[in-house]
């Protein structure tokens, strides 16, 4: 996809990427509300989000393989942090039916590649790390506005901020992908 935007001004590219990601996420949320379309909406939405990362160099997305052990370890740690509040409630945990597991993986990988991957890279190129962190967190929160009750959006925003800060602090996307997948599978 970057090849299609290769000659586009960074600001225009960031706006186009942001609009596309929001469109996919909101469409996914609406599709999921139709009977029997929840899994299809998640899988198709995840696939559409993965497309955003197509053409970007792996290192620009934070997907380098150096120090892979640390990256994976970071992902496990992020997963633990994301799940800790629910785990601390003991029996207060929801359950994800096994049939949704594939969909959970698809959408969480797609979201990370789109938000903390391509969108982060585009915004960082445009305005540096502060814009990338704030911008991806804001778009991430807006993207979940149709699929989540308003009361949940503060927690969604906080999760987005944590993952974006990790992306900035560690220059790594492997950790957020693993952490997000673990969280989606477990809740």
Which 3 state secondary structure label does DSSP give 1? coil
Segment lying near another protein (by CB under 8 A), choices 4-12, 13-21, 68-76, 115-123: 68-76
Burial class (CB in 10 A: 0-12, 13-18, 19+), 100: middle
Q: Interface with another protein includes 6 (CB under 8 A)?
A: no
CA 15 from chain centre, in angstroms, equals: 17
- Cβ atoms within 10 A of the Cβ of 59, count? 13
* Out of 9, 23, 55, 59, the residue judged to bind another protein by CB under 8 A: 59
* Tokens, residue 64: 């380098």
- Does residue 141 interact with another protein by CB under 8 A? no
Q: Which is nearer to another protein, 7 or 65 (CB)?
A: 65
Q: How far is the CB of 62 from another protein (least distance, A)?
A: 8
Of the residues 42, 118, 119, 177, which one makes contact with another protein according to CB under 8 A: 42
d(CA 104, CA 110): 10
Closest approach, Cβ 187 to another protein, in A, equals 5
CB nearer to another protein: pick between 18 and 32: 32
- Decide if residue 168 touches another protein (CB under 8 A): yes
Residue in this structure with the two tokens 């599978």, named with its chain if needed: 185
As measured in angstroms, the least distance from the Cβ of 148 to another protein is 6
CA dihedral angle for residue 82, residue 18, residue 109, residue 42, rounded to 10 degrees: 100
Q: Which is nearer to another protein, 11 or 84 (CB)?
A: 84
CB 116 within 8 A of CB 136: yes
Rounded alpha-carbon distances, angstroms, from residue 104 to 45, 61, 111, 122: 11, 21, 11, 26
The nearer residue to another protein, 18 or 62, going by C-beta atoms, is 62
Size of the site for another protein (CB under 8 A): 73
Interacting positions 80-109 with another protein (CB under 8 A): 80-98, 100-101, 104, 107-108
Residue 128 engages another protein in binding (rule: CB under 8 A)? no
Q: Is 95 helix (H, G, I), strand (E, B) or coil?
A: coil
């Amino acid at each position: 996809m970057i090849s299609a935007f290769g000659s586009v001004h960074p600001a225009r590219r960031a706006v186009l990427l942001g609009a596309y990601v929001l469109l996919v996420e909101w469409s996914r949320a609406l599709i999921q509300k139709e009977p029997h379309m929840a899994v299809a909406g998640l899988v198709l939405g995840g696939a559409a989000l993965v497309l955003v990362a197509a053409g970007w160099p792996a290192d620009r997305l934070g997907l380098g393989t150096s120090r892979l052990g640390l990256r994976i370890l970071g992902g496990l740690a992020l997963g633990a942090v994301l799940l800790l509040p629910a785990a601390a409630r003991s029996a207060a945990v929801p359950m994800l039916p096994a049939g949704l597991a594939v969909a959970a993986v698809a959408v969480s990988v797609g979201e990370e590649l789109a938000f903390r991957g391509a969108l982060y890279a585009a915004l960082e190129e445009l305005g540096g790390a502060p814009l990338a962190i704030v911008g991806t967190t804001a778009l991430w929160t807006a993207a979940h506005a149709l699929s989540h009750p308003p009361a949940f959006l503060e927690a969604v925003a906080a999760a987005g901020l944590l993952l974006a800060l990790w992306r900035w602090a560690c220059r790594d996307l492997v950790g957020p992908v693993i952490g997000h997948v673990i969280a989606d599978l477990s809740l």
